[in-house]
Structure 1
Amino acid sequence: MIAAIEIILEHDTAGDPITGLKWTRKTTEKIAELLQQIDIPVSANTVSRLLYQMDFSLRVNRKQIATNSSPYRDQQFQNISSLRSRFQRQGLPIISVDSKKRELIGNFKNTGAKWDRSPVPVNDHDFLSDASGVGISYGIYDPPNNRGTVCVGISHDTPAFAAHSIATWWKREGSRRHGHAPKLLVLADSGGSNGCSSWAWKTEIQAQLCNPFGITATVAHYPTGASKWNPIEHRLFSEISKHWAAEPLVSYEKMLGFIRNTSTKTGLVVTAYLDRKQYPTGLKPDRQLISSLDLKPGKVLPRWNYHCAQSVKLILRLRLAASDLRPASLARLLKPTERGRHSAKLGESPYTTWLLRGTGRPRKRIIGYWGTATLVD
């Protein structure tokens, strides 16, 4: 049997010249299947033991060196566990959110390995100039129901994009599955587009989720350096990565197809859609806008825990601002200007009118994107 395995692995074996350890890309299930084809009935577990006898070893990178660990790390984990138990006991929705690394759309190498008769030729360098676009995946995972939604953006991973993805999930699926739940628990990392110290993130959650739908979002951030504990990382993103391993993402359609077809034996269901809107970077909230937020710090570790509810004060302020706009000013904003870096396509969002009120010129410090309006920087 060992001789037969050696023949099967003849062209799929690598090794370390220093330690003498060997490894293969073929899985034990595949080797067992090939052995059964030549009338050698054997299980995958038996193949695993035989590979160990043949000096083969599983080779992975191990992330075990902890850096900059917070002294409140364990306390926050306990708090998150308590929040999850309470929300689940009360039948309230829980989501885990995060963004996946940017993918180049085109004939580029994708990490991983797959079964094939010959390697797939791809570009020898990953140059952005050779890509037809970029795919930025922002995921929303529902742990109690084992369901995931991925929004693939074509622009930038910004707080506005993150909040828009969550709001779209709530509109399309969350509200239908959970009815008119008054509260929502959001589990997020401490950095990135949904960082705990980002006022833009907090303002966007208020503007795009809490105000339109009248829901209170309880946000709990995992401590710095603990993103791997976020459920979406190992229950959704890892499965997507395995599904498109070694597959060049040559188009958005192919990328969306891989995400939608991701499934597991435990019943994971994933939906995906493409967001073609543009999200400018470097935009910050106005002080008056921040002061209008209905943001309450949590009783435990308020840096990582807070509650965001519908702000009547903000809604009234925005509606009053909308009535002060002059039509001529809006008309000028619809046309690109020489000094403007972003063109304005104005919808009927009150947040847009608040930021552009008065003189018809864009304010210097603005939050960014709401609804269908891409604001002038």
Structure 2
Amino acid sequence: MTSCLSGRVAARALRAKFDQILPHLDERRRRLYLASEATVLGRGGIVRVAAVSGTSTATIARGMAELASCPPPTLRVRAPGAGRKRLTDTDPGLLPALESLIEPHTRGDPVSPLRWTTLSLRALASTLTTQGHPVSASTVGHLLHTLGYSLQGSAKTTEGISHPDRDAQFTHLNATAAAFLNDAQPVIRVDTKAKEWLGNRDRPGRTWRPGKSAIKVDCHTFTTNDQPMAIPYGIYDIANNSGRVNLGTDHDTAQFAVESIRRWWQHRGRADHPNATRLLITADSGGSNDPRRWTWKSNLATFARESGLEITVCHLPPGTSKWNKIEHRMFCHITANWRGRPLTSYQVVLETIAATTTRTGLTIGAELDTGSYDLGISVTPAEFHALAITPNTFHGDWNYTLSPVPPRAPDAPATTHRTDPALTAMLTDPALTGMSRTAFEHLVAVSEPFLGGLGRSSIPATLPPPAQLPPPTDQQRGPHPPAPGSHPPPPQSGDHDVPGPTTGRQPHQPVHPVPGRKTAPGPAPDPHHADTRIASPHIGTATRPNTPRGNPSLTVIEIRAPAVPVYCLCTPAEDRPFFRKPVSSTTRTPPPVPRRSAA
């Protein structure tokens, strides 16, 4: 009876111990623990432990066999090879089929069945199942990770054609900025941030809100003519880690860009740099601060005179605007500060920009600029060349300095000699120009704005006295033009080389007959002038009546040319103006009076 009672007490103790320990063990550890308890109890221990724990005796016996073999510690619960086989083992063609669907997208195979579709897991699983490889979308995801694939977006790394002096320009820019900073001179980075349409419009990004209370915005973001727009032009001071944004409301022009720099200098730059005599501006090579814009340089020159600063400008090479420090040190923080928040008014934009800060101490000021900046303002070449701009020896188109001095006075126009009206009438004769005088005057008026400066710069102020050349041996001067109302004398021999009077028609110089055209009977052409189109000019002098011959007062240039040029000797079907296209897109040149030869 005593042994029976002790057995019950031992069974209770084992049950209490098992209830505390067994719930925290997995299948393998539970089996090994029960086997160790049965081994301690000795004979009949397997039956007693099985009765108290509720485990089969076969499980406890297998645990005792494992303990006898002294297995190494492991985290595995079951023996290797247990469970269902992998699909890659049961279907050896699954992995090659999946790779054949994925690789054409990376290799550009146009015959792939999914070449022009989205590579989603469901689309891949459906295609594999159709090809005889039944698989689920989740399994396709595991297989892709096994192959080293992952979901990736596009990376903006391709910059197009790189300028050959790109690295050299960055080196020059960094060296110039370091020299300015060492001399305690201000260095600023400028750029225009992306324009923002105002209104209850959707904004990218998310912000913390109470549950189920998202900001409600308009479904459509159409723009109208009266839709307000914010144009943020930023200035970042590198030395002080501070910035300022001039919020424009009109147009992003060169005048607006310089006005933004002027406001930064008046409100912040002058106080931060009281001893500044020079200013370095680094900007992109496009937009309102494009170095090719004369208006940008003209307005900068005006600001230099107003502030008394010597302004040096260094532009980033083309296609490198993303390396502008203002993008990474100021604009990105402004974008992060107003993410997920509709910009409903200018006040919201200003307050959001002014509240932007960083752990490094960035401070940004903002101001609304309601000024009007018209488009289409241009600078004339004379105004531009008068500016005090000094290009740098390295890439003067990207690096230049504007001095705070007034623009240079324009050069005085060169003195010109008086032109004889008779000479002008002779050179503009329709027989020589191939067009009427009205058409020639119109051509001169249209061409003068483009060629006037070049012509004035190429003509010397004073001309040397003309050389006294004898007349040609085979020709003599023709008679003077007859008086108005009188009849011209009959032509003499040799007069066909002399230009006729300004009115009337004179016999022209014989030329080669035009092929395919019948010529009127006349004297045989002179062999000496058979191949002559326009002879060499003959320069001589003429004197006024009652003046000494040794003091010539008028230079006469005699051009020996046919009265009717060759290009006027055309067939009736080709009888059209010599200048077939109009000189301007808005005005047409009146057609000249056609002239034919009268042999």
Q: Which residue of 2 aligns with 1:280?
A: 374
> Secondary structure of 2:332's partner?
helix
* Cα-to-partner distance string for 1:35-80 (whole Å, 9 max, x where unaligned): xxxxxxxxxxxxxxxxx9xx9x896652101212101100001001
Give the number of equivalent residue pairs: 269
Code of the aligned partner of 1:290? F
Q: Which residue identity does 2:362 align to in structure 1? A: L
1:305 is aligned to 2:390: no
Cα deviation, 1:160-217, whole Å, max 9, x if unaligned, reads 000000011001111111014110000100000001111111111111x201011111
User: Distance in 2 between the 1:309 and 1:130 partners?
Assistant: 41
The aligned residue for residue 18 of structure 1 is 119
Say whether the 8 Å CA contact 1:104–1:131 is kept in structure 2: no
Q: CA–CA distance in 2 between the matches of 1:170 and 1:123? A: 39
Q: What is the DSSP-based 3-state SS (H/G/I as helix, E as strand, rest coil) of the residue aligned with 1:258?
A: helix
Q: Secondary structure at the match of 2:281?
A: strand
Distance 1:191 1:151 in 2: 19
The equivalent of 2:135 in structure 1 is none
Q: How does 1:140-151 map to 2 (within 5 A)?
A: 140-151=235-246
* Counterpart pick for 1:160 among 248, 252, 255: 255
Normalised to the residue count of structure 1, the TM-score between the two structures is: 0.67
Corresponding letter in the other structure for 1:167? R
Query: Offset of 1:292 from its aligned partner?
Result: 2.1
What is the distance in 1 between the residues matched to 2:273 and 2:161?
38
1:290 equivalenced with 2:391 (yes/no)? no
Give the aligned partner of residue 375 of structure 1.
none
Query: Is residue 190 of structure 2 the alignment partner of residue 97 of structure 1?
Result: yes
Show CA shifts across 1:122-155 (max 9, x none): 2223222186411000000011211000000000
2:269 matched to 1:199? no
Equivalent of 1:224, from 300, 318, 321?
Answer: 318
The residue type equivalent to 2:273 in the other structure is: H
Matching residue of 1:177 = 272
- Kindly state the Cα deviation for residue 311 of structure 1 after the two structures are TM-superposed: 2.5
- Seen in structure 2, the aligned counterparts of structure 1 residues 281 and 60 have a Cα distance that, compared at 3 Å, is farther
**1:126 equivalent in alignment to 2:240:** no
What's the CA shift for 1:303?
Answer: 1.4
Residue 286 (structure 1) shift:
2.3
Summarize deviations over 1:68-125 as a string: whole Å, max 9, x none. 2101100001001101110111110000000011111111122222223343222223
Are 2:331 and 1:237 equivalent residues in the alignment? yes
Picking from 241, 254, 268, the partner of 2:348 is: 254
CA spacing shift, 1:129–1:306, aligned 2, 3 Å: same
Cα deviation for residue 312 of structure 1 reads: 2.1
- Write the letter of the residue equivalent to 1:203: S
Opposite residue 293 of structure 2, the aligned amino acid is S
Determine which structure has more spread, i.e. the larger CA radius of gyration.
Answer: 2
- Shift, 1:283, TM fit: 1.3
- Matched residue type, 1:113: R
Cα distance change, pair 96–151 in 1 and its aligned pair in 2 (3 A): same
Kept in 2: contact 1:216–1:309 (CA 8 A): yes
1:62 and 1:242 map into 2 onto residues whose CA distance is: 20
1:168 is matched by which residue type in structure 2? R
Cα-to-partner distance string for 1:298-352 (whole Å, 9 max, x where unaligned): 12111110001112236x89xxxxxxxxxxxxxxxxxxxxxxxxxxxxxxxxxxx
Compare 104-113 and 192-201 and name the one that shifted more: 104-113
- Residue 291 of structure 1: CA displacement? 2.2
RMSD (Å), alpha carbons: 2.6
Task: Please tell me whether residue 79 in structure 1 is matched to residue 172 in structure 2.
Answer: yes
Contact kept in structure 2, 1:105 and 1:131, CA below 8 Å: no
TM-score (norm 2): 0.43
**Partner SS, residue 397 of structure 2:** coil
Q: Which has the higher contact order (CA 8 A, sep 6+)?
A: 1
